[in-house]
Structure 1
């Protein structure tokens, strides 16, 4: 459990660093170009990782399973590209801290909304949404 928590924290740090780098690249080249380069480099890196792991394990199950994924599963790439483009556009205008707060707030609100659709919303979740909105409002005021 501790390892998973540490990996999640490291992942959050990587995301913050990635946002800042892409925001700077977006200032220099434009948001769409920043998103393009982010995804091209990521595609190349992950292709190499998949190729190396498939060749060392002696099976290509992960590659064939990926190719057999339903069409809806591929929409994640489109959403990811849109995320990077929007973040590259917004970050230089709002700053890293406010952008991170708003992105995390949006993620939490979306998660609560999806939970509400599937199993209803609890009082604690509603209180959490109100805290998120209050934090965004306070940051905007101050």
Structure 2
């Protein structure tokens, strides 16, 4: 189990680094061109990995969802490349992760046809509070928070 936790943490570091790199590339060549380069390089890398593992993907047996996942992934990278330089690393990441948590709870509830459990509701409330906290702090200490927001 600890291996999977460590892999998930490593994946988070890689995603954060990827977003920063794509954000910088986006400011230079535009978000959609940055997304194209992201996917071209990713395709080449995965092709080399598959060849090294002597594995050949069977495109005919892949479900339609596999192709939709690719479309959503490309759209995610393009939108993220556009938003990241404008919102900053922390805000963009917080909003993306919040959207993922909220949509995951919603999808689970729809698929299972159940009402979310207490811990899940608490998790959603904490995510929403996390999104609202900077704005609440700005109302409590407007001069200090305004200065920090303009510097970041």
Calculate the TM-score normalised by the size of structure 2.
0.83
For the pair shown, which has the larger CA radius of gyration, 1 or 2? 2
How much does 1:21 deviate? 0.2
Contact 1:98–1:139 (Cα < 8 Å) also in 2: no
**2:117 counterpart (122, 130, 135):** 122
Local SS of the residue matching 2:68? helix
RMSD of equivalent CA atoms: 1.3
Q: Deviations over 1:52-92 (max 9, x none)?
A: 111xxxxx5x522x441122221111111111111111111
SS of the residue corresponding to residue 69 of structure 2 reads: helix
State the TM-score, normalizing by the size of structure 1.
0.89
Segments of 5+ residues of structure 1 without an aligned counterpart are 55-59
Alignment of 1:34-113 (within 5 A): 34-54=34-54, 60=55, 62-64=56-58, 66-113=59-106
Cα shift at 1:134: 1.2
Q: After TM superposition, what 4+ stretches of structure 1 lie above 6 angstroms from structure 2?
A: none
Q: Which has the higher contact order (CA 8 A, sep 6+)?
A: 1
Distance 2:25 2:135 in 1: 26
Say how many residue pairs are matched.
135
Q: What is the distance in 1 between the residues matched to 2:127 and 2:46?
A: 34
**1:138 matched residue in structure 2:** 133
Q: Mark the runs of 5 or more structure 2 residues left unpaired by the alignment.
A: 139-152
